[in-house]
Structure 1
C-alpha cells in the first residue's frame, strides 16, 4: 500500500497496523515491568500477538459477511506447510522483474495510462512511480475492512480504479494462475477427502 501522508491520512500496509498494535502492547508491558519490578510473562505476550492476528483476520472476514461480522466467527487453524501462499510482487524484487512485461502490457491498454495519470494527479501523488491501480485498490479495500478514514479523492475515482484493475488482470494470466491455482487445488483436495470419508466402509 502507499506510504504517504495525504490530508492527515496515513497510508500504511494493513499488516503494519497489527504489528504496531503489538509493539505498543509490548512497550506497555515493558514499562509496567520497570515501574512495578514485575517479571514479564512472555507467554502472555505471545498470546496477545495471537489475539492481534485474529483481530486482523476477523476484520478481513467481516467484509464477506452480510452482517458485517457482528456475530461469532470460527477460525480454523492448521500447520503452516499446507497453507496457500500468494505471490508478493511488491516485496519480492525477483518476482517484480519477472512480471515487468506483464505490467507494461497492462499499462498499454487503451486509456489505462491516461486514467492512472488522472487519478494520481487528483490525489496529489503524480510523482509516485511505484503506484498502480492494484495498490490503489488495496487501499480502498483496507479502508472498508478496517474502518479507516476514507480518502475523498480515492472514493471519487473508485470506479476507474476497479475497472482498470480488471483490465490489468486479464493481461496477467500467469499471475492469476499463481494466485488462484493453489486455492483451487486445495479446494479440490478438501472435496475429495470429504467424499472419501463419506464413502468409507465405516460410514456406510
Structure 2
C-alpha cells in the first residue's frame, strides 16, 4: 500500500521535533547503514621514513567478533575473484603483514559500531530482533577482506554473536562494484579521475606545501608521495599507537587539510557528472530500497536493515552528493545511516539521515525528518540507474585516454 504523500503545516512543525515528540509521531520502517571499514594497515608506507613494524599480532581477531558467516556473490554463489585484494598481497609491509588489512583495533571499532546500532534499534526502540535473521538483515560488502571482516564484526556487535542462521555477506566482481567509485568498470570515470588525480598535487598551494614536507622528511621527488598517502600512513600509525617522525607532528593539521583539498578536487562536487559516476548507482539502490518499502513491493517484505560495508572513497562522494561534506576525512568506522519513518497520523513517509551518529538537515529538505519526495528530489541529480550509468560510462568520445 502506497503511503500518503500529503503534507500539512502541523506535520512540518512535528517533523522539526519542536511541537511533537518524534519518537511517538513516527514509526521506524527501514534502516540502511553505509559504513567505512575499521582501522587497518597502511596502503603504502611513506618511503624511508621511520619504518614501523606492522606485525601479524596486530591482526588477531578478538573472540567476541567471531560469527558463523559465508562470503558469496550477489546470487549466493561462490565469492568472486578479488583483484584489488590480490594486488595488496603482492606487497609486504615491514613486519610481515600486507597493506590494507583490518587490524584488531579496526575489528573492535566495527564491533562497537554494531553495539551502538544495537542500543538504538534493539534496546531503545524494539525494531530489530535481538538475534540475527537473514529475512530481516541484508549484508553487502566490497569484495575486499577488510570490508568483509568489518561487516562480520559489526554483525557480531549488533547481535552479540546470536544468530538463527549463517550470515551471508554478499559481494560482487570488481567490474560491477557500486560500493566505491569504480575506475575498472567505468571508462569515463577512469579518464576523468586520472587527470584530476595527476593535477591535484600540482595545485599551487598544495604543490608548495608538498615540496616543503618532502624536504623536511627527505623524500625524493621521483617517489611520488602525495598528501593522501602521507595522511593514510600517519592515521594508520596513530590508530595503533605506532610512532611517526617528530617533524610530522607540526605538519599534522596541514597534512589533513591538504589531503582533503586533494580529494575534493579529484571528486569535483561542483560537476554533477563526477558524483553521478562515483556513487550514482549506489544512491539509486538505496532510494529503490526506500521506495520498495513504502510501496510494499520488496521481494523481502520482512527486511528491516541493509548494511553496506565500504570505504572512505565511498562515503566522501556520498556526503558531497548529500550536500553535507564537512571538509573532514571520514574516520575509520564512520557511518551514514538512512532511516525511513512513517508518520503515525498522516501515514506520510519521511527520511532521517545521520552521519557518524549526528542527525543532518539535507539541503533541499524542509526538516531533519525529510518528506520522502523531497529527499528523492534532493538526490535526483546524482542517482543513476545501472542502465544510465553504463550508458554514461561508455560515452568517452573526444576524451584522451589516461
Normalised to the residue count of structure 2, the TM-score between the two structures is 0.31
1:6 alignment partner, SS class: coil
Q: Is the CA contact (8 Å cut-off) linking 1:117 and 1:126 kept in structure 2?
A: no
Q: Distance in 2 between matches of 1:63 and 1:96?
A: 36
1:73 alignment partner, SS class: helix
User: 1:115 Cα shift?
Assistant: 0.4
1:119 aligns with 2:213: yes
- Per the alignment, residue 148 of structure 2 pairs with none
Q: Is the CA contact (8 Å cut-off) linking 2:48 and 2:219 kept in structure 1?
A: no
How many residues get paired?
Answer: 160
Choose the corresponding residue for 1:130, options 224, 246, 269: 224
Relative to structure 1, the CA distance from residue 153 to residue 176 in structure 2 (aligned partners, 3 Å threshold; closer, same or farther) is farther
- Per the alignment, residue 243 of structure 2 pairs with 150
- Per the alignment, residue 289 of structure 2 pairs with 190
- Per the alignment, residue 58 of structure 1 pairs with 107
What are structure 2's unaligned runs of at least 5 residues?
A: 1-42, 61-100, 117-152, 160-166, 184-188, 303-346, 348-402
Residues 87-143 of structure 1: CA deviation (Å, up to 9, x unaligned): 587xxxxx8776442134323323111101111222222345321111112123322
Q: Is the CA contact (8 Å cut-off) linking 1:169 and 1:176 kept in structure 2?
A: no
Relative to structure 1, the CA distance from residue 175 to residue 141 in structure 2 (aligned partners, 3 Å threshold; closer, same or farther) is farther
Q: Distance in 1 between matches of 2:109 and 2:177?
A: 17
CA RMSD of aligned residues (A): 4.7
Residues 146-174 of structure 1: CA deviation (Å, up to 9, x unaligned): x1413133343121112212222232237
Relative to structure 1, the CA distance from residue 122 to residue 100 in structure 2 (aligned partners, 3 Å threshold; closer, same or farther) is same
Q: Distance in 1 between matches of 2:202 and 2:112?
A: 32
Q: Distance in 2 between matches of 1:6 and 1:85?
A: 33
Q: Is the CA contact (8 Å cut-off) linking 1:116 and 1:133 kept in structure 2?
A: yes
What are structure 1's unaligned runs of at least 5 residues?
A: 23-51, 90-94
Residues 61-80 of structure 1: CA deviation (Å, up to 9, x unaligned): 37979x9x9xx623875211
Which structure's residues are more often strand, by fraction?
Answer: 2
- Per the alignment, residue 157 of structure 2 pairs with 73
The within-5 A match list for 1:1-204 is: 1-3=43-45, 4-10=47-53, 55=104, 58=107, 61=110, 73-74=157-158, 78-81=169-172, 84-87=178-181, 99-145=193-239, 147-151=240-244, 152-172=246-266, 173=268, 177-197=276-296
Normalised to the residue count of structure 1, the TM-score between the two structures is 0.53
Relative to structure 1, the CA distance from residue 130 to residue 57 in structure 2 (aligned partners, 3 Å threshold; closer, same or farther) is same
User: 1:190 Cα shift?
Assistant: 3.4
Q: Distance in 2 between matches of 1:56 and 1:96?
A: 33
Which structure's residues are more often helix, by fraction?
Answer: 1
Q: Distance in 2 between matches of 1:57 and 1:194?
A: 33
